[in-house]
Amino acid sequence: MSGARNPSIRAVLWDFGGVFSTSPFDAFARYEKQRNLPEGLLRKVNTINPDTNAWARLERAEITAEQFDREFDREAKALGHSVPGRDVLSLLFGDIRPEMVEALRRCKAVFRTACITNNFGDIGPGVVSAERERAWQDVVALFEFVLESSKVGVRKPEPAIYRMACEKLGIEPREAVYLDDLGINLKPAKALGMTTIKVGDPAATIAELEAVTGLVLR
């Protein structure tokens, strides 16, 4: 499990969606194709007023999932298309990547581990299957703690949420590795001094994490 452990690293911090699960962007693309929507529409809606749009407000728990359903659709209609927010929420729960979960387990045996995730509160019944929700919760249980944007009132890429994680762990940012599938979320972590890894292909991601931590993770 362990090689020459990097003594300067004390914690490995992780995003969740797109890291431990398949990318929601793949699901977005399938949805757009199935409904003859412009390619990239869902991501485009989220880039307009990114700190105050429906998505941002949902992740800070400033609106409910029911309100998001209407507000996201309103924002999509401003671009000429109807997309109920409830549809978007159903696309976020991808398949779990077992190789990434194994890497987490091995890191957990040596380092402190935590998750920093932009999420939302109760999304109501029927949006995600009970089986898929259990699979996600099994991974969540492996972390020392999870910082959820909907509970702490700040979201990535706001620097405060990264500082909050480090303070809770009792470490300096330079003593942490942070993994995320979005570059916009990695920039503030890197600026604080964290070693950052952009998640794409799981095998390549794990190889990079092995190089940084000194552990054998597969």
Domains of the chain as residue ranges with CATH = 11-21+94-213 (3.40.50.1000), 25-90 (1.10.150.240)
AA letter at 96: I
User: What is the reported pLDDT for 124?
Assistant: 60
Query: What average pLDDT score do residues 87-97 get?
Result: 90
Segment 172-187, tens digit of pLDDT: 999 999 999 999 999 9
CB-based contact 20:181 (threshold 8 Å) = no
Instruction: Flag the least confident range among 32-41, 63-72, 77-86, 119-128.
Output: 119-128
Query: What average pLDDT score do residues 94-110 get?
Result: 96
Alpha carbon 183 to its chain centroid, in Å, reads 12
User: What is the reported pLDDT for 37?
Assistant: 97
CB-based contact 215:3 (threshold 8 Å) = yes
AA letter at 180: D
* Residue 115 pLDDT exceeds 70: yes
CB-based contact 89:98 (threshold 8 Å) = no
- Identify which of 210, 178, 5, 7 has the alpha carbon closest to the alpha carbon of residue 103: 210
Average predicted confidence (pLDDT) for the chain: 93
Length of the chain: 218
CB-based contact 196:173 (threshold 8 Å) = no
